[in-house]
Structure formats: structure tokens, C-alpha cells
Structure 1
Amino acid sequence: MKSTNKYIFWMTVLPWLTTPFIGYKTFKRFLPGALFMCLYVIAEGSVAEKKKWWWFPFNVKPNVLGEMPLIFGPFFIGSLWTLKYTYGSFRLYVLVNLIIDSLFTYFGLNWFKKIGYVSLVRFSKPQLSLLFLVKSFVMYGFQVFYDKYVIRRQPSDTLK
């Protein structure tokens, strides 16, 4: 379990080390979409815990979802990077998300199970992939909505 703590710590911290390379304007622009998705995934995690879709034997603290390191580490920062390079091209966005989500589902999940971090219980890998796809549509839709109605920017506007 001690080595699992190290893996989880580094899995959470390493993505944050890439934030200076994202750029301040990009970070600021896509922060609402990434935060919205973090809240969405936290709510989803609560439902998943009750319905036993997956199980995290690893606890950050009592009454804290086990997936918090995933949510506020690679998921949050990965969302910013994905939006930075694919926003405005929906096909590319979907393709990149399918690749990333498939790598996580079919390879990363095996490693997480091996180190004792998470395992699927009432969810299969194809169901998890479908859930990830739905989340990617929700995040893109939220960002389009935010750009169009909150800050009144077109999705094709370039970052400078």
C-alpha cells in the first residue's frame, strides 16, 4: 500500500508540472469547462460508489472519493490540454478523446488494478468507454455553451 501511495501522489502531481506550458490565456479560457467536468465526475463518482460500478480500496481520507487524485490530477490537466489542441475541431476532439479514454480503459485500468488502486465491479470496460465518451461530449458542449453565451466567443477563435 505504501508504494501505491507514491504512485497516486506522483499521478496527481506530475500533470500539474505541465501547467506552465499550457499558457495563462489557455488555462483561463478552458478552466470553466475543466472545473465543470471535475464537479460532474465527482457527482458521477458518488453515484458509482452507491451503485458499485467500480471500487477504490484506496482512500485519500475518510469520506473522500478514492478517485479524487485522478480527477484533480490527470483528468483536470488532461482536459485543459485536450481542449487547448482540439477545441474548434469536433472530429479531432472526439478522436483524441477516444484514444486517450481507450488507453486508460484498456491499459491504465489494468495497471491501477495491479497496484490496488481501483477495479471495476458492476461496470465492464466497454461500458466505461461509453461513459467516457458521454463525458467528453458533455465537456465540449459545456465549453461551446460557455464561449457562446457567457463570454460570447466563437469556438473557432484562436488563442494568442
Structure 2
Amino acid sequence: MVKSKLMKYNKFVLLMMLVVSWLSLLLFGKSSFKRFIPAGIFIALVTGLENYAAKKRTWWWWYEKLHPKLSGSIPFVFGPFMIGSMWVLKLTYGKFNRYLIVNLIVDSFFIFILIDKWLKKWGIASLVRMKKIQLSLLLFIDSLLLYGFQLLIEKIKVVKWKEDDSEIQRKNIR
């Protein structure tokens, strides 16, 4: 009886996770958004590919969907994972140790509280053939990819800025 009452709101829960994540960007700042959106899109694509592989290998299962043709993972991928990753980068980028600690805390919350206590209980999602430690390792690798991608983006921006600066100086000399 309790499960049926909880399951009644599953689509609403998924939708709210997506909407609240995006609404949090109102506090993010325009320059930070421009700076970190490429990394957010990157991690959403990586996570989307992982969810595709997970479905094929039954690592985890999404029982609830917002739409019959879309996986239940979509609100997570383009909500908390994407936007949450952007927030973590904004708050910790340039301080790698802090970044790793914050990711460890967030990922542990996701694995041990969100999946185990809430999503499984509400009939939204659960781990099937993947153990919690394996998911922890996967999320750790994702965090390293995310940070590395942001480093690459920052490096490209610096090179472009230097090239633009050199062009301006050449024009001023003439």
C-alpha cells in the first residue's frame, strides 16, 4: 500500500529533479554558465552513453519514465548530473583536492542515499548487475574526465585569447 502511494508521484519526482536543477542556474551567473556549459554538455553525453551501455548490460534499471520512448535516466542526465557537475566545477575548479572531495561526497550521497534509500524504495531505479563500489569507480572516472575536459577547454581559451591579443598588437603596429 505504501509503495503504490509513493509510485503515484514518480513522474512528478523525476520532472521536479530536472526542473529544480535548471532553476538553480538562476543563481549561477552568466559568465560561469558560459564557462562551464561545455563541460556540462560533455558529462551529459558521457553519462548518456553509460546509461546506454548500462541498459544493454543490465547494470542498473530505470523502472519509471517521463515518456514511454525516453529512458527514466534522461531527467537525471540532463538535470542533477549535468547541472550538478557544473555547480561542482564552479565551486571547486582550480582546487583539485577540493574537487575530488566534493565529488566523493556527492557521489556517495547519490549511491548510498538516493539510489538505495529513495529511488529503489519508490520504484524509480535500482542497481541490478553493478555493485555500489563499481558505480563509485565509474563516477570517479567520470569526475576525472569532467575535470580534464574543463582543463582542456580552459587551455583552448587561453591559446585563443593569446592569438587574439597577438592579432590586435599586429594591427596596432601597422
TM-score, normalising length from structure 2?
A: 0.84
Aligned-residue offset at 1:124: 0.7
Per the alignment, residue 156 of structure 1 pairs with: none
Q: Deviations over 1:39-77 (max 9, x none)?
A: 111111101100000001112333422200011111111
Give 5+ residue unaligned stretches, structure 1: 154-160
Question: Counterparts in 2 of 1:79-118, with a 5 A limit?
Answer: 79-110=85-116, 111-118=118-125
Q: Are the aligned partners of 2:11 and 2:66 in contact in 1 as well (CA < 8 Å)?
A: no
Inter-partner Cα distance in structure 2 for 1:59 and 1:33 = 26
Q: Are the aligned partners of 2:14 and 2:66 in contact in 1 as well (CA < 8 Å)?
A: no
Q: Are the aligned partners of 2:15 and 2:66 in contact in 1 as well (CA < 8 Å)?
A: no
Matched, 1:139 2:163: no
Q: Deviations over 1:50-108 (max 9, x none)?
A: 00000011123334222000111111111111000100011000000000000110011
Inter-partner Cα distance in structure 2 for 1:62 and 1:116 = 16
Percent identity reads: 43
Q: How many residues align?
A: 152
Matched, 1:126 2:139: no
TM-score, normalising length from structure 1?
A: 0.91
> Which is helix-richer, 1 or 2?
2
Q: CA RMSD in A?
A: 1.2
* AA partner of residue 134 (structure 1): I
Runs of 4+ with >3 A deviation:
none
Q: Are the aligned partners of 1:38 and 1:71 in contact in 2 as well (CA < 8 Å)?
A: yes
Per the alignment, residue 44 of structure 1 pairs with: 50
* AA partner of residue 77 (structure 2): I
Inter-partner Cα distance in structure 2 for 1:65 and 1:146 = 30
* AA partner of residue 144 (structure 2): F
Aligned-residue offset at 1:117: 0.8
Matched, 1:34 2:37: no
- State the SS of the aligned residue for 1:17: helix
Matched, 1:71 2:87: no
Q: Are the aligned partners of 2:11 and 2:65 in contact in 1 as well (CA < 8 Å)?
A: no
